[in-house]
Amino acid sequence: MIEKVNPQHPDKVADRIAGAIVDLAYERDENPKIAVEVLIGHSKATVIIESNLKFTKRHIKPILERIVGEVDLRLISVQQDPHLAENQANTVRCGDNGIFKGVPLTDEENRMTEIAKEIYESYPYDGKYILDGERLIICQSNAPTDHLKKKYPTAEINPLGEWTGGLDVDTGATNRKLGSDMYQSVTGGGINGKDLSKADVSVNIYAFLKAQELGEPVQLCCAIGDEFVDGKPYSEIVEIAKSYVKCIGGFEKLAE
């Protein structure tokens, strides 16, 4: 059983904006420290950034305009806590406490992803989908139900009727769709809107990749300040995650 949302779902839009801000941080600093939270909807956006870098509306507005168009921005940009900064001062250490789980992808999960991509190519609007064995539920905005029925004749399509969706009727927040992002690997930490020093990013990615390689679940834990995770230097974990993020096109693409 798997749920998937597409890149125009309001929560996923918030994740994409947060990811784009992290991409910008890496353009400005080789090793930035940043955590971003985004709440967006109804032509308004609140963006909170904790970072070693200072961000102004001049930095953030072009990202919002590219992804969602013109919105009223409330920006809060503050310096990272000095104690957290000191934790990373002389070496690469784990940036947070956490438990992490990687699980091999199933055929059902891969199938759901392909269906979601297929629908999004024709209807690049807010959408949400569930696959439970042979039961396929499609909730796709701005799409004629009869058109989708031709492609997916056995699916349950827009059970309450056709709808518009998007940020004019709903709000989005970062890391609210972790099940869609991480499938069975969901634990306590959200993967979007954070730099690579954060375990929520690097250890989650590392555990996911290791699970795919081994073909079995992987469970890890770490404490803030750890220099080794799973018997490896934390710096190596970060480099593995960095290579993965780079190969898919950055943090915005990771969110998307």
Question: What are the pLDDT digits (tens) for 168-196?
Answer: 999 999 999 988 888 888 887 889 999 99
In whole angstroms, give the CA distance from residue 103 to residue 182: 9
Counting DSSP H helices and E strands in the chain, the numbers are: 9, 12
Q: Is residue 254's pLDDT more than 80?
A: yes
Q: Is residue 222's pLDDT more than 80?
A: yes
Q: Is residue 89's pLDDT more than 80?
A: no
Residue with the bigger pLDDT between 62 and 87: it is: 62
Categorize the per-residue pLDDT at 82 as very low, low, confident or very high, splitting at 50, 70 and 90: confident
Whether the model clears a pTM of 0.85, i.e. scores above it, the answer is yes
Domains and CATH numbers, the chain: 2-6+107-170 (no CATH), 10-87 (3.30.300.10), 98-105+173-255 (no CATH)
Q: What is the DSSP letter of 185?
A: G
In this predicted structure, which of 13-27, 66-80, 187-201, 233-247 has the lowest mean pLDDT?
187-201
Other CB atoms within 10 A of residue 60 CB: 22
In whole angstroms, give the CA distance from residue 246 to residue 26: 11
Quick check: helix, strand or coil at residue 38? Answer: strand
**Mean pLDDT, the chain, as a whole number?**
94
**Closest by alpha carbon to 68, among 42, 48, 50?**
42
195 — phi, psi (to 5°)? -80, 175
| Interacting residues of 44 by C-beta distance below 8 A, sequence separation 6+ | 71, 72, 74
